[in-house]
């Protein structure tokens, strides 16, 4: 029986994939016939650890380091991938959160901080998406084959989140960017979609949310009373990356345990 989620040998680039949700997406892609999974992370050793997992399971992967907020570095990374493995056919903009080195100011009321703090959040969550898309799209068009661009956003960008105003703004901006990209690239059989996630059980979130009582209060807002698992997100991303979804574009899919609904 054929695999409806087969990636047909496409080269895939997953940003921020050295841990958490990105790692699981990379593993999913490798297990479903990606020609090569380029595992990006700001820290090369984290990316290499995921590559070692993938190759140990018989998949094909390469570790690539770049800061997604640096357009020059992103373009160099994409060229390196294309020269060695072929043009990128699937891009997953997963790198995000409060920047590479989150500071306590990221959790202060935004009116008590300023552009230095705001720009770190906007840089990785919005400009990082724009940078990676701009570096990948020319080669994706030149492939003259179906392509997929998927951006991981947050329910903060759909529903709003107290205390995360600049983060919510950046994620909402990324989703709006993806809708416009979808309109531009549809003629080339390239789709562009977003996946909005909520509280997900990752190593980073475990460090930030270590208070059991607070965690209980958070989960009371979820119809399915548990945190998401990276697999929950990776399943949706794989679907959108595969040939199972050729007529879906410009959409934002919540994977959020019922935290909020989409019309």
216-263 pLDDT tens trace: 777 888 999 888 899 999 999 999 999 999 999 999 999 999 999 987
Question: Does some domain include residue 6?
Answer: no
167 is catalytic: yes
Evaluate if residue 191 carries a pLDDT over 70: yes
Question: Does some domain include residue 57?
Answer: yes
Task: Please give the Cα distance from 158 to 173 (Å, whole number).
Answer: 10
Whole-number pLDDT of residue 215: 74
Evaluate if residue 104 carries a pLDDT over 90: no
Number of domains the chain contains:
1
Whole-number pLDDT of residue 209: 57
Question: Does some domain include residue 259?
Answer: no
Evaluate if residue 107 carries a pLDDT over 80: no
Q: What angle do CA 209, 26, 169 make, to 5 degrees?
A: 50
Q: Which residues contact 111 (CB under 8 A, 6 or more apart)?
A: none
What average pLDDT does the segment 151-177 reach?
94
Task: Please give the Cα distance from 72 to 210 (Å, whole number).
Answer: 37
Annotated catalytic residue, options 167, 188, 222, 253: 167
Whole-number pLDDT of residue 248: 98
Whole-number pLDDT of residue 71: 98
Question: Does some domain include residue 260?
Answer: no
Contact 61, 51 (CB under 8 A): yes
Q: How confident is the model at residue 30 (pLDDT cuts 50, 70, 90)?
A: very high
Question: Does some domain include residue 153?
Answer: yes
Domain residue limits at 210? 11-254
DSSP 105: G
Question: Does some domain include residue 31?
Answer: yes
Judged by average pLDDT, the poorest of 9-18, 180-189, 220-229 is: 220-229
- Chain mean pLDDT for the chain: 93
Question: Does some domain include residue 64?
Answer: yes
> Which residue from 52, 77, 14, 45 is spatially nearest to 230, judged by alpha carbons?
14
Q: pLDDT > 90: what percent of the chain?
A: 80
Q: Which residues contact 236 (CB under 8 A, 6 or more apart)?
A: 195, 253, 255
Whole-number pLDDT of residue 119: 94
Alpha helices for 86-195 (secondary structure H): 115-122, 128-142, 155-159, 165-185
CATH number at residue 180: 3.40.50.720
Number of H helices, E strands in the chain: 10, 7
Evaluate if residue 124 carries a pLDDT over 90: yes
Q: Report pTM.
A: 0.94
């Amino acid at each position: 029986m054929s695999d409806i989620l087969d990636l047909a040998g496409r080269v895939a680039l997953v940003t921020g994939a050295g841990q958490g949700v990105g790692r699981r997406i990379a593993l999913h892609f490798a297990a479903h016939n990606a020609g090569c999974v380029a595992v990006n992370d700001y820290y090369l050793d984290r990316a290499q650890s995921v590559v070692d997992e993938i190759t140990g399971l018989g998949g094909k992967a390469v570790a690539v380091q770049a800061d997604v907020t640096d357009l020059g570095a992103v373009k160099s990374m994409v060229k390196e991938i294309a020269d060695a493995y072929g043009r990128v056919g699937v891009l997953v903009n997963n790198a995000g959160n409060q920047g590479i080195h989150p500071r306590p100011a990221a959790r202060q009321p935004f009116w008590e901080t300023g552009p230095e703090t705001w720009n770190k959040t906007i840089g990785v969550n919005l400009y990082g998406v724009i940078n990676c898309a701009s570096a990948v799209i020319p080669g994706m068009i030149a492939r003259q084959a179906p392509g997929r661009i998927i951006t991981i956003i947050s329910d903060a960008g759909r529903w709003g989140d107290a205390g995360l105003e600049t983060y919510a703004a950046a994620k909402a901006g990324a989703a709006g960017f993806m809708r416009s990209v979808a309109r531009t690239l549809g003629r080339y059989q390239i789709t562009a979609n977003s996946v909005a996630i909520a509280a997900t059980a990752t190593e980073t979130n475990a460090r930030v949310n270590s208070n059991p009582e607070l965690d209980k209060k958070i989960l009371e807002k979820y119809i399915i009373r548990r945190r998401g698992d990276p697999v929950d997100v990776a399943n949706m991303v794989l679907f959108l990356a595969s040939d199972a979804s050729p007529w879906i574009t410009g959409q934002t899919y919540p994977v959020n345990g019922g935290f909020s609904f989409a019309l």
